[in-house]
Amino acid sequence: MSAMTERTVETSGGSTRVWEMGTGDPVGYFAGLHGLPAWLPLLDSLSAHRQVVVPSLPGYPGGYDYEPLDDVLDWILAARDVHAASGLGGADLIGASVGGALAAEIAAAWPDAVRRLVLIAPYGMYVDEEPSIDVFAQRQELLSSIISAKPDAYDSYVDTPDGEDEVEWDLTRFRAQMAAAKLLWPLGDTRLAKRLARITQPALIIWGADDQVLPPSYAQRFADAISGEASVCIIEGAGHKVEFDAPDAVADAIGEFLNET
């Protein structure tokens, strides 16, 4: 397996880090809450068969300043700029949580830009009778136990990377939290539901059965609203960070889906 490499791309908003690993047809990955402080085991598995391309979204580690983004349209255009600059036009696209909401927006607005779409517990929808929780109002010491079924392991994953200053890393984490809050606060509803019917590509929606943030029932709501052929995969024993909690099961589901013709 090839080693992970890093490059920088330029967009109208600024410079963005892009991580890559593997060879073959490219597949893009937009990260969820907290971004990617380090490479994920899920991405290791995917890179065994594909070139995995992971651009940083605004405000996340490696991304440019999110503060000029004032509304959902600004975020959609910024995400599309990053997507295009990373060379992902026409490739398969995976988006998790916050990244899932933006991946869905790209697929809806630029159908030729995405071949197949994978959404992992995406934000963007709110249902009154099945409310999500406000992760931005939770005590920080409890957040990992709310978003992950493996809170101790997740705490270690987002801890200060080797070679990073602890205070600076705390600021980086806070910046990522604020970026997500600016897009999603307070209820995570970006009105994405109004645009899901524009998604005509094949789609796979993956959810953790124990998601405490976004109800797993949202998975079928997403699938029903998408015009393209959409399927649902519920992963037992996993929380909102299903891609972290159950990387093998998620990789198997994604691999099977992306290999369909």
What are the pLDDT digits (tens) for 28-37? 999 999 999 8
* Assessment of whether the complete model's pTM goes beyond 0.75: yes
DSSP conformational letter for 56: P
Helix or strand (DSSP H, E) at 167: helix 166-184
Q: 16 with 81: CB under 8 angstroms?
A: no
Res 261: pLDDT? 59
Lowest mean pLDDT among 13-22, 88-97, 131-140, 194-203: 131-140
Domain ranges of the chain: 5-258
Facing residues of 18 across strands?
Answer: 7, 55
5-258 fold: Rossmann fold (3.40.50)
Phi and psi (nearest 5°) for 174? -65, -40
Beginning with the edge strand found earlier in the chain, give each strand of the sheet holding 230-235 in spatial order.
Answer: 5-10, 15-21, 51-55, 26-30, 91-96, 114-120, 203-208, 230-235
DSSP conformational letter for 131: P
Tokens representing residue 77 in the block: 């255009």
Tokens representing residue 52 in the block: 């995995």
Q: Can you list the positions of beta strands (E) in the chain? A: 5-10, 15-21, 26-30, 51-55, 91-96, 114-120, 203-208, 230-235
- What is the Cα–Cα distance from 256 to 252, expressed in whole angstroms? 6
Q: How far is CA 71 from CA 2, 99, 191, in A?
A: 39, 16, 12
Lowest mean pLDDT among 61-70, 79-88, 133-142, 239-248: 133-142
Tokens representing residue 81 in the block: 């700029």
Res 172: pLDDT? 93
Q: 225 with 254: CB under 8 angstroms?
A: no
On the CB side of 226, how many CA atoms lie within 13 Å of its CA?
29
pLDDT band at 1 (very low <50, low <70, confident <90, very high): low
For residue 142, give the 3-state DSSP assignment. helix
